[in-house]
Structure 1
Amino acid sequence: MEADAAAAAAAMIARARAALTPLGALPPELQPEDEAAGYAVQRALHEQVAVRQGARVGYKIGCTSKVMQDYLQIPHPCAGGVFATGVHSSGVSLPTTGYVRVGVECEIATRLARNLPPEAAPFTAERVAAAVGACHPAIEVVDDRYVRWETLGAPTLIADDFFAAGCVLGAAVAHSALPDLLTVRGRAMINDEVAGEGTGADVLGHPFHALAWLANHLAATGQGLKAGELVLTGSLVKTVWLKAGDRVRMELDGLGVVEAAFV
């Protein structure tokens, strides 16, 4: 996709996101024809939204579990950006009016202590694990900001950061104190009722497999992950869509809890 077309597509997406206007199909001449073009638009979008959303501080990985692949009908992982203004601490209250249709997912977030530069690829789960400084129990906040997402296709969803709208983080657990992430069980609690459950094994077999996928995906276009960046490794449960007044609590055994209210 030509740079001018990617920038024009990104500008349309950025305007819709800022205005909370549901995004429909892009004009034919601006639609990314494949996922590589979708990521080209996404990179242009990140440059355009930085003024309003702050610096990109990491990434989210979507479609890492079978439950989410089945739900979205996309059989492989997809990545999006996480921005400074969208990162919150446990206990936050967030207005539902700040989203088109807000939802939440139960995640294990990683915080990198070391760079994963593109020249060091290919990466394995073992290699990226050594770069992780800590993990957090996390709520990924997602936004269905589309007229009908089922009709847009993966390239356009990727261009718009694949539903990403921020996250809420619980306390960090240092790498040396981490439980076996393979067997960590997560529960999504909405208003004190269980809305979904899963384990770390549901995330591409292990959350560090998802992190390795992202590192290799970025390396393919000459990009890397940097120390201090946050990576949301993918949901253990199917997305839960919310309404005003909902209270969210994600419990991840051995990692802790994270809570938020949507008002």
Structure 2
Amino acid sequence: MNKTLAAVTLGTLVAAASAGAHAACLGDAQVADFFAAREARTPAADIENLDEADAACTRAKLNALLARKHGAVIGYKAGLTNPAVQKRFNYDKPVWGVLYQGMLLDSGAVVNAAFGARPLFEADMLVRVKSADINSAKTSADVLANIDQVIPFIELPDLVVQTPPKLNGPGLAAINVAARLGVKGLPVDVPTTAGGQAWLLESLRDMTVVMKDGQGAELARGKGADILEHPLNAVVWLAGALAKEGLALKAGDLVSLGSFSPLLPPKAGQTVLVTYEGLSRMQPVVVTFSK
């Protein structure tokens, strides 16, 4: 990274914040610096004072670099879908980011505890889109009718910036909602019968998601309803948000629904296991963090 340019970039952002000024969409050089820091797993300059439009503009620039490096889009993630996580980022609505090929690992993966500049982990869940009709979904039942798999998932986000507490909702959106890695478990097929779908719809809302360490000590827990009153409502929101930018979900896309737990920092040697109580067919998903 060009040290002089990085210093200028940081100085500009700090000055704007100090003056209480509104920051515009990050310039190409600023986004390139952020991307380089992300790839090097070193803290990047703080991103502050963006509005939603500037965040979307910045995310588009960053995603162009991510796509060049990491390949095809495999889906999307909805972030800040849990009120507790919204509170952490001082924002009252969800945000979204893009998932790329190579980001997802299989259950049992061993991941460096320093996998990012500001690495974290959280209990999450993926769903797989069956039909583009999902883009017109208005309810959780509409979403369920247009997905064919639910998948246990531990997301491994990376907040990247030097001072993560300064990130708010638009700042998080600008950095692609911190998408870095994730560990997926065995998928469960969505039932095709009306009775089976009704059972799954209720079970997703009422399930308890429990995160434990390798010794069985509980790290966190949450309910399905913690995400927008039903986890599939995250897909309703996401489809609408993508449509505003001329994008749409397609068959085969994966969607990360958001966090059922607090975001926690990984420790070298730690194993994390997430279970979904109330979903009898859902197997646990596991990740181990190495030195």
1:249 CA drift (Å): 0.4
Structure 1 match to 2:285: 258
Superposition pairs of residues 41-80 of structure 1, within 5 angstroms: 41-80=58-97
**Aligned match of 1:208 in 223, 232, 241?**
232
Count of residues in correspondence between the two structures: 255
Provide the rounded CA distance (Å) in 2 between the counterparts of 1:243 and 1:138: 19
Superposition pairs of residues 213-252 of structure 1, within 5 angstroms: 213-252=237-276
Aligned-residue Cα RMSD (Å) equals: 2.2
Point out the more displaced range, 149-158 or 131-140. 149-158
Structure 2 match to 1:165: 180
- Amino acid of the residue matched to residue 273 of structure 2? R
Provide the rounded CA distance (Å) in 2 between the counterparts of 1:222 and 1:21: 33
- Amino acid of the residue matched to residue 288 of structure 2? A
Gaps of 5+ in 2: 1-23
1:189 and 2:212 correspond: yes
Secondary structure of residue in 1 paired with 2:257: strand
- Amino acid of the residue matched to residue 90 of structure 1? S
1:132 CA drift (Å): 0.8
Decide whether aligned partners of structure 1 residues 109 and 144 sit closer, same or farther in structure 2, where only a CA change above 3 A counts: same
Provide the rounded CA distance (Å) in 2 between the counterparts of 1:108 and 1:226: 18
Secondary structure of residue in 1 paired with 2:171: helix
Secondary structure of residue in 2 paired with 1:198: strand
Render the CA deviation track for 1:78-125: whole Å, top value 9, x for unaligned: 1112111110110110112331232111112111111257xx547433
1:85 and 2:102 correspond: yes
Provide the rounded CA distance (Å) in 2 between the counterparts of 1:9 and 1:56: 23
- Amino acid of the residue matched to residue 187 of structure 1? V
Query: Comparing both structures, which one devotes a greater share of its residues to strand?
Result: 1
**Aligned match of 1:16 in 37, 41, 64?**
37
Structure 1 match to 2:144: 129
Provide the rounded CA distance (Å) in 2 between the counterparts of 1:171 and 1:152: 33
Render the CA deviation track for 1:218-240: whole Å, top value 9, x for unaligned: 01111101111111101111112
Higher relative contact order (CA 8 A, sep 6+): 1
- Amino acid of the residue matched to residue 73 of structure 2? R
Decide whether aligned partners of structure 1 residues 228 and 9 sit closer, same or farther in structure 2, where only a CA change above 3 A counts: farther
1:25 and 2:49 correspond: no
Superposition pairs of residues 145-156 of structure 1, within 5 angstroms: 145-156=160-171
Secondary structure of residue in 2 paired with 1:261: strand
Provide the rounded CA distance (Å) in 2 between the counterparts of 1:234 and 1:116: 22
Structure 1 match to 2:19: none
Seq. identity, %: 28
Structure 1 match to 2:8: none
**Aligned match of 1:113 in 106, 130, 138?**
130
Provide the rounded CA distance (Å) in 2 between the counterparts of 1:225 and 1:7: 28
1:11 CA drift (Å): 1.9
- Amino acid of the residue matched to residue 287 of structure 2? A
Secondary structure of residue in 2 paired with 1:103: coil
Render the CA deviation track for 1:7-48: whole Å, top value 9, x for unaligned: 44432321121122212235xxxx773112212221221121
Provide the rounded CA distance (Å) in 2 between the counterparts of 1:32 and 1:228: 36
1:135 CA drift (Å): 0.4
Provide the rounded CA distance (Å) in 1 between the counterparts of 2:121 and 2:241: 25
- Is the CA contact (8 Å cut-off) linking 1:10 and 1:159 kept in structure 2? no
1:242 CA drift (Å): 1.1
- Amino acid of the residue matched to residue 69 of structure 1? Q
Provide the rounded CA distance (Å) in 1 between the counterparts of 2:219 and 2:246: 39
